[in-house]
Amino acid sequence: MIDLYALTSPNVQKIFIMLEECELPYNTHTVDVWKGDQFTPEFTKINPLQKVPAIVDSDGPGGKPYTVIESGAILLYLADKAGKFVPKDKKQYFDMMQWLMVQMANLGPMSGQLVHFSKFAGPGQEYGHSRYRTVVNKLFDLYDQRLASRAYVAGDDYTLADIAAFPWLRNVGLLGIDLATRPHVKAWVDKIEARDAVKRAMAKVATIKSVRDNATDDAKDRYFGRGKYARA
Ligand SMILES: N[C@@H](CCC(=O)N[C@@H](CS)C(=O)NCC(=O)O)C(=O)O
């Protein structure tokens, strides 16, 4: 059995999608990062980075419990366990890996910064907002070019590169990105959204409750490492 430590963010959505796609049994534990649950000693033992997602597999390597953090590593771990969504052909495997890394190192973190500067940083932050809006727009263009000539991000098959990118590329409302000029991303989002496993995953995400809209100023400061939580 897999225990998934989760809230509702795109990095967590990837893992719900992968678990549903692989039909692996799992329990969900809510870690409300807007309440500070990520900082408890119990959760810090599971993920010293104090972030969701994380999983604990009771049947890990050697039949022993095993913990995995970082959504990209979790996707690779689950793909290995289920034997799915990773191409066997070497070239295709490395195409998939490169685009998984593009998502993990670029699309995810840069989009996260864009959301931060547009929703949470407060007034007077135009430099940060403009910088990340530009970077994310360029990344959306890059994915659109890529999807213009192939069915999926890595090639002909649906792989981890799609599962990792989907929650971010569909997130256009929050990011303030226009898909009208990215028809290939739009068609790909629609295609992935129509998968049964993705529908099941997103329905599960929708049931998770958070205090996000009523988070205290102190909880927000701690989450964002600002105010009395800032480090020199
Ligand atoms: N690189 C990590 C990012 C995880 C991440 O940033 N999680 C956020 C939610 S999207 C979180 O738990 N933030 C709480 C905090 O930073 O205190 C991954 O892909 O798993």
| pLDDT tens-place string over residues 113-155 | 999 999 999 888 899 999 999 999 999 999 999 999 999 999 9
Query: Please, are residues 4 and 15 in contact by the beta-carbon 8 Å criterion?
Result: yes
What 49-54 contacts at long range (C-beta under 8 Å, 24+ apart), as own/partner pairs, is 52/5, 52/6, 52/7, 52/9, 52/11, 52/12, 53/4, 53/5, 53/6, 53/11, 53/12, 53/14, 53/15, 54/4, 54/5
Tens digits of residue pLDDT in 164-186:
999 999 999 889 999 999 999 99
The CATH number assigned to the domain with range 90-194 reads 1.20.1050.10
Is 5 close to ligand 1, i.e. is its CB under 6 Å away? no
Query: Please, are residues 38 and 50 in contact by the beta-carbon 8 Å criterion?
Result: yes
The topology under which CATH files domain 2-84+201-229 is: Glutaredoxin (3.40.30)
CA distance 93 to 85: 10
The label of the residue with tokens 């000693």 reads 41
Q: Which of 11, 17, 18, 77 to mutate to test the pocket of ligand 1 (most atoms within 8 A of CB)?
A: 11
How much of the chain, in percent, has pLDDT values that exceed 70? Answer: 100
Q: Where are the chain's structural domains?
A: 2-84+201-229, 90-194
CA 134 to chain centre: 20
Is 111 close to ligand 1, i.e. is its CB under 6 Å away? no
